[in-house]
Amino acid sequence: MEFFRIRRTIPFMRHAKIFNAISAITFVLAVIFLVARGLNLSVEFTGGTVMEVSYPQPPDLEQVRGAIAKLSYGEVQVQNFGTARDVLIRLPNKAGQNSAEQSKQVLEALRALDAGVQERRTEFVGPQVGDELATSGLMAMAFVVLGIMVYLAMRFEWKYAVAGIIANMHDVIIILGFFAFFQWEFSLPVLAAVLAVMGYSVNESVIIFDRIRENFRRYRKMGSIEIIDSAITSTISRTMITHGSTLAVVLSMLLFGGQTLHYFAVALMVGIMFGIYSSVFVAAAIAMWLGVKREDLVVRTRKDFDPNDPNAGAVV
């Protein structure tokens, strides 16, 4: 499906060096922010207190957040849980207070707003649990990277696998760099968004790689750079349709999903935007620098083989 078709091939790879330099600078800045500022990890990773309270009528979450903010707990998550009358509160650890003291202080602040609020449960998330979640998250990311590399190597060729993984890690590090620079809270939903972006980004790379392979089979007299430019140009309409639809959904989550989905949507938004960029100016460009050529993708047969024609016998 295409809304439009570009008749003239756009020379993307002509500007590959400039865009690769921009990518490298952005990547290095993201790494610097991660090292210098670190991630603002949520209660799931650092440990803390989780409270569930129930109201007789649906409460105003902004008023609830305002009441808890006066207690100087720092970043506190407040969201509906189950129904509009149930509220889940995640509190970070506070020096000199245990979980019971924290929950009592918060409950007193909430009852000052609404005497009908009832405490449903209180749980303490220890630092050990947070360490296990962080380890599991890193393992999940490592398995995703490994799986993508194996898939690309089996479907295409090792040069594409390397290019795809570099583009994927480019997107992931930049997302983490944004969260480190702005000190947005990094929670389990955000980690899920990062993993989703890795799959989403590699899908766009696969579409372009697949079109490159088709063009190598179709246009025997074109050079590698022309083939890559043609492949990217021919997928622009599809890219605008798919990414436009996805961004519309993510934008609706960002605007109307509330605090619960806010950073999840932010991570997806950043990842999708850079995923489009990296598929063209990182993955395709790196494949070009690695010297991808027709022989890497086209299987040749002995039938009608002409030793004077390097393209003879190619399967089309």
For the segment 132-159, what is each residue's pLDDT rounded down to a tens digit?
777 887 888 888 888 887 887 787 778 8
**Region of poorest pLDDT, from 52-56, 70-74, 127-131:** 127-131
Mean pLDDT of 118-142: 78
* pLDDT bracket for residue 296 (50, 70, 90): low
* pLDDT bracket for residue 26 (50, 70, 90): very high
* pLDDT bracket for residue 4 (50, 70, 90): low
- The whole-number pLDDT of residue 305 equals 44
pLDDT at 15 over 50: yes
Cα 224 from Cα 279, distance rounded (Å):
17
Helix axes 258-278, 188-218, angle to 10 degrees: 30
pLDDT at 176 over 90: yes
**Residues 213, 219, 225, 230, CA torsion sign:** negative
Other CB atoms within a 10 A radius of the CB of residue 232 amount to 23
Angle formed at CA 199 by CA 197 and CA 203, multiple of 5 degrees: 110
> In b/e form, how buried is each residue of 156-165, taking b as 16+ CB within 10 angstroms?
bbebbbbbbb
pLDDT at 300 over 60: no
Cα 148 from Cα 177, distance rounded (Å):
22
* pLDDT bracket for residue 33 (50, 70, 90): very high
Cα 265 from Cα 26, distance rounded (Å):
21
**Residues 292, 295, 296, 299, CA torsion sign:** positive
- The whole-number pLDDT of residue 313 equals 46
Mean pLDDT of 189-217: 87
pLDDT at 180 over 60: yes
Mean pLDDT of 184-188: 86
pLDDT at 10 over 80: yes
Question: Which tens digits make up the pLDDT trace of 208-247?
Answer: 888 888 888 888 888 889 999 999 998 888 888 888 889 9
Mean pLDDT of the chain: 83
pLDDT at 1 over 80: no
Mean pLDDT of 96-113: 86
pLDDT at 307 over 70: no
* pLDDT bracket for residue 3 (50, 70, 90): low
- The whole-number pLDDT of residue 315 equals 44
Cα 68 from Cα 7, distance rounded (Å):
59
Distances (CA, A) of 228 to 12, 156, 173, 207: 8, 15, 26, 12
Distances (CA, A) of 265 to 193, 194, 253, 273, 279: 8, 10, 6, 12, 21
**What percent of the chain stands above pLDDT 90?**
21
